[in-house]
Structure 1
Amino acid sequence: MFSRRTKTGAAVAAAASIALIATGCAGASDSGGGDGDQIELTVTTFGTFGYDDLYKEYEAANPGIKITANNIDTGGNARTDAFTKLAAGSGLSDVVAIEEGWLGSIMEVSDQFTDLTEYGIEDRKSDWVDWKYAQATDPDGRVIGYGTDIGPEGLCYNRTAFEAAGLPADREAVAELLGGADSTWEDFFTVGKQYKDATGKAWYDHSGFVWNAMVNQLPEGYYTSDGELNVDGNADLEERWGWINDAAAEGLSAAQTAWDWNGGKSFVDGTFATFVCPGWMLGVVQGQVEAGGGDVANSGWDFADVFPGGAANWGGAFLSVPTQSKHPKEAAALASWLTEPEQQVKQFEAAGTFPSTVKAEEELASSGEPNAFFNDAPVGAILAKRAEGVVAQYKGPDDSLIQENVFGPVLQKVDRGEVDADAGWAEALSLLGELVKN
């Protein structure tokens, strides 16, 4: 049964369903196979997954399979797409990527996804870090997703910008400057003020992503571990709200819009100097520099083994097989292959997505392979260190909605100086009450 906890969700889903029926949209697999015995498998991902070459490799090894790929720009838009098609009862691909932030809402309709234990996923259980496999297991013990990546966080920074401010630019020195293994958000903002005083420029791109990183470090974020809303009266959140508001008031935020950095130019022209980077964000940074016309061979960007507040996980995904698929066996085989350790290493090399399989993590930890874009930083080894001790926070059904539609718009106002901390917090709570049921 389709259910949502958002008050607006049912109306949106109903409207979307009508629109799909009116346009005659059929299930993604309704086209059947191709010529002869060929089977077409459709795959929907989002952001930067790095699968293009892997699709070709799989097709070459499996001549009876043709893969048709669809990539949606952001995880938030992918969430909307998935729930619109779940409401309509058609249109989902044979393989659908699910983002960690909205996995909780997917679990409310887990019966609309294939139980992958029917296709042998239990034989691979030991491949993944234990909490990753557990995340994709519903309350009835059904496993609905093959784990792709996890999101340990390090710090992307612009060496050229640091040098212009008279700050050390060597990545080891940058890590030490920010407090090393004991780095705190106070350290981060203190150095940011030094940078702002020296250059007159912003320290980070916008407050939304920094806030998200802070929330992810808490034992419990927008929800308690038993699934209860955990925002109003949450002293840890309120304390961090004060930190991010103070930093914005100091001019440390460049007030960029989430996922829109002036066509990538803000990564090129020195608009900001640092960027919070889970592994999958490394590919985003490179893509933005390319889009902004920057010199990819000498971008100025680097990656340091440090993160304010300690270890944190942001994001990660799963490959699922909706029950709408007409080819569940073949879809499960493709999803399983894409998430094997060997393929996860290749995915990392293509997009920076850090593996969730133990063998792939161990390989990257020992390789020290330099990343030319990030000034030859050994990003795999750095991320392996950043992943030590990381366990993903429980994400409730509307976790991503709260981040994007409750705190997101208010933090934009904070960055623009339109609300102070108290007014902003009150506005966020008001939006929470409008959009999310207790």
Structure 2
Amino acid sequence: MKNFRFPAAAIAGAAAVALLASGCGGGDDGNGEAASADNPIELSVTTFGTFGYDDLYSEYEDANPGITIKPNNIDTGGNARTDLFTKLAAGSGVSDVVAVEEGWLGAIMQVSDKFVDLKEYGAEDNKDNWVDWKYKQGTDPDGRVIGYGTDIGPQGICYNGKLLEAAGLPSDREAVAELLGGPDATWEKYFEVGNQYKDASGKAWFDQAGFVWNSMVNQMDEGYYTRDGELNIEDNDAMIANFDLLSGAIDDGLSANQEEWKWNSGQSFLDGTFATMVCPGWMLGNIQGGIETAGGSTDSGWDFADVFPGGASNWGGAFLSVPETSEHKEEAAKLAAWLTEPEQQIKQSEAAGNFPSTLQAQEQLAADATPNEWFNDAPTGAILASRAKDVVAQFKGPDDSVIQEKVFGPAIDDMETGTATADQAWEKALKLLNDLVINN
């Protein structure tokens, strides 16, 4: 997948999103004076895609007279990465709080000294809020905590029950999970069922291959990098086998070759172009937005199953960080801490469909099992809690997102358009890896 989080404005027409809000007052304005109605402070915040924070910004401002949040939303994670690193290099223009995507966290760690150590503002006191691996992800090699975890991305399978039923396949979500292999689901089984669906319907099984490839790589014990930070692609037999398996699915016509993040302006969710797609929690909001943009409603037939080929997998997730250039570090750190507390993560999940990284919020969503009307009343929070079991995020190296977007993206595009075989596409990926990463 080329960008980790879809731009809400493009699919749902949502308002611009950003990051920040926290604690209740008490910080200073950089000159030792507390923020107040008589001493106002503006905190700029930058994020990307769909975070579901708009109402939280207002809530924080109402509770903290003198604080105004100035949001800046960037459409995609890839563009947000470019924006942040450009401003870091220039030494100016960086917001008081910025969102950092898991896929480029490795690159951020190489310049972690440009970010505030949140332990100076109480991060250690709250470390047990998060799943342990999320807190560790936000900690640099020197033990400095440079990011508060927002969401994580456990994955299930989104599917259109009406389309499956019309093709003679089960549509009940428990039966769909069993059809795909249940706890023993594999990619081979997923593609096998896809061929059954295509034979019966004449239509594609999944939206496009880039997302599938991203999921395959993410659930490997080691992905594009080893845990020691070494590139892990050339001569990686397991990765090559997955690439060949995906190529076979493309050759079988299982991919609808949709433009990433577009889905024909959402129409493809309504016209039967494809029947399933890989779904981290935050993707649910994108699907809903696409359906709404295309004029659909809650009766579109989309559902969410507690199953994933190859087992537990995490795609994405983000952090809130405070750059050293902020003139309001204490206020910014308080705001970031507040936004990532369990209570706020639950509200964020309700607004954006993503899944929290804090244990209390996860447990609450699992217990509530609230029906999601956009997914046939599926208890999406409870399903994501189930899918989050055994998830441990993979180590991401400094150029992980570049490799996904700029190296494998074009190679997979060639397979989808029929201009390259699997072997040719793999060789193209290796050449791009050499040009853009190894020798760059």
2:315 corresponds to which letter in structure 1? W
**Conserved in 2, the CA contact under 8 Å of 1:369 and 1:379?**
yes
Q: Which amino acid aligns with 2:42?
A: E
* Counterpart for residue 16 of structure 1: none
CA-CA distance at 1:47 after TM superposition: 1.2
Under a length normalisation based on structure 2, what TM-score does the superposition of the two structures give? Answer: 0.91
Residue number among 45, 48, 53 corresponding to 1:46 in the alignment = 48
* Residues 9-408 of structure 1 aligned to structure 2 (within 5 Å): 36-295=38-297, 297-408=298-409
Distance 2:278 2:107 in 1: 26
Match of 2:431 in 1: 430
Work out the CA distance in 1 between the residues paired with 2:249 and 2:373.
32
State the secondary structure of the residue aligned to 1:419: coil
What code does the residue aligned with 1:171 have?
R
Instruction: Give the superposition deviation at 1:293.
Output: 2.1
Q: Deviations over 1:259-284 (max 9, x none)?
A: 22221111221111111001111111
SS at match of 1:298: coil
Q: Name the SS of the counterpart of 1:373 in structure 2.
A: helix
Give the SS at the match of 1:436: helix
CA contact (8 A) 1:137 1:143 kept: yes
Cα shift at 1:345? 0.7
Q: Deviations over 1:64-114 (max 9, x none)?
A: 111111222211111111111111111111110000000000000101111
Shift of 1:175: 0.4
Shift of 1:437: 2.1
1:264–1:292 contact (8 Å) kept in structure 2: yes
Letter paired with 2:51: F
Counterpart Cα distance in 2 of 1:69 and 1:34:
20
Structure 2: how far apart are the matches of 1:82 and 1:250? Answer: 41
Say if 2:37 and 2:66, in contact at 8 Å, map to a contact too: no
Name the CA distance, whole Å, in 2 between partners of 1:81 and 1:289.
Answer: 30
Following superposition, the deviation at residue 35 of structure 1 comes to 7.6
Give the letter aligned to residue 243 of structure 1.
L
Superposed displacement of residue 168, structure 1 = 0.7
Is contact 2:37-2:65 (8 Å) kept? no
1:189-223 deviations in Å (ceiling 9; x for gaps): 00100111111111001100000100011000000
- The runs of at least 4 consecutive aligned structure 1 residues that moved more than 2 Å come to 33-36
CA offset digits 1:142-170 (Å, max 9, x no partner): 11000001110000111121122111111
Q: Report the Cα distance in structure 1 between the residues aligned to 2:68 and 2:186, rounded to whole angstroms.
A: 49
SS of residue matched to 1:275: strand
Q: Answer yes or no: is the 8 Å Cα contact 2:41–2:67 preserved in 1.
A: yes
Whole-Å Cα distance in 2 between the matches of residues 34 and 426 of structure 1? Answer: 60
Residue type at the aligned position of 1:360: A
- 1:203 match: secondary structure: strand
Q: Percent identity?
A: 68
1:95 alignment partner AA: V
Contact kept, 8 Å, 1:213 with 1:312, in 2: the verdict is yes
RMSD: 1.6
- Please say if residues 34 and 40 of structure 1, whose CA atoms lie closer than 8 Å, have aligned partners that are also in contact: no
Give, as a single letter, the amino acid of the residue that structure 1 aligns with 2:376. Answer: N
- Could you list the runs of 5+ residues in structure 1 that have no partner in the other structure? 1-28
Aligned-partner Cα distance in 2 for 1:167–1:251: 18
In 2: Cα distance, 1:273 partner to 1:70 partner: 35
More moved, 64-73 vs 113-122: 64-73
Using the TM superposition, give the Cα deviation of residue 286 of structure 1 relative to its aligned residue in structure 2, in angstroms: 0.7
In structure 2, how many angstroms separate the alpha carbons of the residues matched to 1:163 and 1:236?
34
Q: 1:299 Cα shift?
A: 2.2
Any conservation in 2 of the 1:257–1:412 contact (CA below 8 Å)? no
Query: What CA distance in whole angstroms lies between the structure 2 residues aligned with 1:288 and 1:93?
Result: 30
Give the Cα–Cα distance (whole angstroms) in 1 for the partners of residues 234 and 308 of structure 2. Answer: 27
Shift of 1:34: 10
Tell me the TM-score normalized by structure 1.
0.91
CA drift of 1:141 comes to 0.8
> Residue 414 of structure 1 corresponds to which residue in structure 2?
415
Distance 2:325 2:388 in 1: 35
Aligned letter for 2:345?
Q
Give CA deviations for 1:301-354 in whole Å, capped at 9, x if unaligned: 100000011000111100000111111111111100000001101111111111
**What corresponds to 2:3 in structure 1?**
none
Structure 2 residues not aligned, in runs of 5+ = 1-28
- More divergent stretch after superposition (245-254 vs 362-371): 362-371
Corresponding position of 1:13: none
SS in 2 for 1:45: strand
